[in-house]
Copies of this chain bind each other. A is one copy, B any other.
């Protein structure tokens, strides 16, 4: 028996994230990495997918940040989720090809686009991968719930601190940074659209957080100077980010 060697593939970050939900059989790992895909380099604010358009691919983020968002009739925007290296953003396109949201980069980014048919096929033939995709979507839903709480029931300072804590923990998981120091090429206007606030008010909260020595910004990096204090300010508990907690 010749052992399957793990190929070098652009999809490695995706595999790494999925294996966080439980180890995959070697053949499944290989099949995942061999999924047909086209790689694309996008500039800041590049559109990946528009609301109401039919999607033929699923998007995996390889580098940079992207987001889901909706634009309202009055012109205001709500960012629904932020995505980073390894995130499978669009797996649901295999089941519901017309999205209810826009998908756009927040920064320059690398993405891989996998045909929906290939996603459907690998899920049908490999139960362990289907399960991993499932959990990826369910984690996404858990984050969406927490964001609903965030904008619904927390004040501006708490909202922003919570968002920054979440981003830190997720960067750590994705190996793109540490929770106390991670890439932050995101504007305060983006943070405003995440938190349902105005850019002006976000700016004032940032100043307050800096004045209290909770964090520092600059050089497109966010540095948390006092994690416990920032987590407390954000009423942040990371439980919801661990889908497999409580499992053997």
1/0 per residue, CB under 8 A from B, across A85-101: the answer is 00000001001111011
Interface stretch, picked from A24-32, A143-151, A212-220, is: A143-151
Closest to A237 in B: B73
Task: Give how many copies assemble into the complex.
Answer: 2
Residue contact B149 to A92, C-beta cutoff 8 Å = no
Given the known interface contacts A78-B152, A98-B245, the answer about A72 and B235 at a Cβ–Cβ threshold of 8 Å is yes
Min CB–CB distance A161 → chain B (angstroms): 14
A135 interfacial by beta-carbon distance below 8 Å: yes
Cβ of A101 and Cβ of B141 under 8 Å apart? Answer: no
Interface residue total, chain A, C-beta cutoff 8 A: 48
Beta-carbon contact of A235 and B73 below 8 Å = yes
| A240 close to B (CB within 8 Å) | yes
Closest residue of chain B to A101 (Cβ to Cβ) is B145
Which one of B92, B97, B153, B247 lies within 8 Å of A97 (CB-CB)? B247
How many Å from the CB of A27 to the closest CB on chain B?
Answer: 18
A72 to chain B, nearest CB (A): 6
Query: Please, how many angstroms separate the alpha-carbon atoms of A152 and B77 in the complex?
Result: 9
Contact A153 B101 (CB under 8 A): no
Cross-chain contact A141 with B140 (CB below 8 angstroms):
yes
Q: How far is the CA of A138 from the CA of B137 in the complex (A)?
A: 8
Residue of B nearest to A240 (CB): B100
B contact residues around A137 at 8 Å (CB) = 137-138, 141
A70: interface (CB < 8 Å): yes
The answer to whether A92 and B141 touch across the interface, beta carbons within 8 angstroms, is: yes
With an 8 A cutoff between CB atoms, is A8 at the interface?
Answer: no
Q: Which residues of B contact A239 (CB under 8 A)?
A: 52, 100
The one of B96, B152, B246, B247 in contact with A151, judged by C-beta atoms closer than 8 angstroms, is B152
Whether A153 touches B96, Cβ cut-off 8 Å, given contacts A80-B145, A124-B127, A144-B148, is: no
The CA-CA distance from A70 to B153 in the complex, in Å, is 10
Query: Is residue A142 contacting chain B, with contact meaning CB distance below 8 A?
Result: yes
Q: How far is the CA of A54 from the CA of B248 in the complex (A)?
A: 12
From 82 to 136 in chain A, residues with beta carbon under 8 angstroms from any chain B beta carbon are 92, 95-98, 100-101, 124, 127, 131, 134-135
